[in-house]
Chains A and B, each alone.
Chain A
Amino acid sequence: EVQLVESGGGLVQPGRSLKLSCAASGFTFSNYYMAWVRQAPKKGLEWVATISTSGSRTYYPDSVKGRFTISRDNAKSSLYLQMNSLKSEDTATYYCARHAGIVSSPFAYWGQGTLVTVSS
């Protein structure tokens, strides 16, 4: 059974940093592109980042480019999201997601999410 378990969320002040983690199990982690998708409270879904199988290629929307960094450790079956210079508009539940295949494939599996609140 595919499992994705996020951790690392919490309350953080604007301008500070936070690092999210996602522990994956039930599949060969190194074979899949992985992603982070977020959802602001009572709002819709927004893709945040994607990383290739080896970690050599990463993709971001303009809203987080230069502030967020996605990375992975295939030996530990773990995905990470380093978030710097956080803003109030980054407040959201962050989901770890597994792509169905390559970079432009759907998000086949999702974790339960971890809440990040950016507030002073």
Chain B
Amino acid sequence: DIVMTQSPTSMSISVGDRVTMNCKASQNVGSNVDWYQQKTGQSPKLLIYKASNRYTGVPDRFTGSGSGTDFTFTISNMQAEDLAVYYCMQSNSYPPTFGGGTKLELK
């Protein structure tokens, strides 16, 4: 199975910050990485698919990039409502596998 390693595991941030997190695949997954947001007590929500495409209705402060084994997710202007755990997932081959998550907390 492909292992997805996210870093950092947590970040202390302030509203207005630019936030960047990473996801590394154990083998080449092309551009088949998706990013999900999970707020406390809620189900996950798809934000980015195929590395860099924003899903319907997702604000443009959320961006993704990368290919092959290294991927980046960025929030350009952190809002309080963005506090959550963010997961990457590879959908290149079965089984789809998730990273361990990056938790955003207020400084």
Binding site for B on A (CB under 8 A): 37, 44-47, 59, 61, 95, 100, 103-113
Determine whether the beta carbon of B43 is less than 8 Å from that of A59.
Answer: no
Name 8 extra pairs, CB < 8 A, besides A47-B95, A107-B44.
A45-B98, A46-B98, A47-B98, A100-B49, A104-B91, A106-B34, A106-B89, A106-B91
A residues less than 8 Å from B89 (CB atoms): 45, 106-107
A residues less than 8 Å from B42 (CB atoms): 112
A93 to chain B, nearest CB (A): 9
Q: Say yes or no: is B97 at the interface (Cβ < 8 Å to chain A).
A: yes
Q: Say yes or no: is B69 at the interface (Cβ < 8 Å to chain A).
A: no
Across the interface, name the chain A residue whose C-beta is closest to B33: A106
Determine whether the beta carbon of B91 is less than 8 Å from that of A105.
Answer: yes
B residues less than 8 Å from A107 (CB atoms): 34, 36, 44, 46, 89
Interface of B is mostly: loop
**Most chain-B CB neighbours within 10 Å: which of A95, A107, A111?**
A107
Take A108-B46, A110-B45 as given contacts and tell me if A47 and B93 are in contact as well, using a CB distance cutoff of 8 Å.
no
B residues less than 8 Å from A61 (CB atoms): 1, 95
Contact residues, B29-84 vs A (CB, 8 A): 32, 34, 36, 42-46, 49, 55
What's the Cα separation between A47 and B1 when bound, in Å? 12
Determine whether the beta carbon of A113 is less than 8 Å from that of B46.
Answer: no
What's the Cα separation between A62 and B55 when bound, in Å? 30
Determine whether the beta carbon of A108 is less than 8 Å from that of B55.
Answer: yes
What's the Cα separation between A31 and B100 when bound, in Å? 31
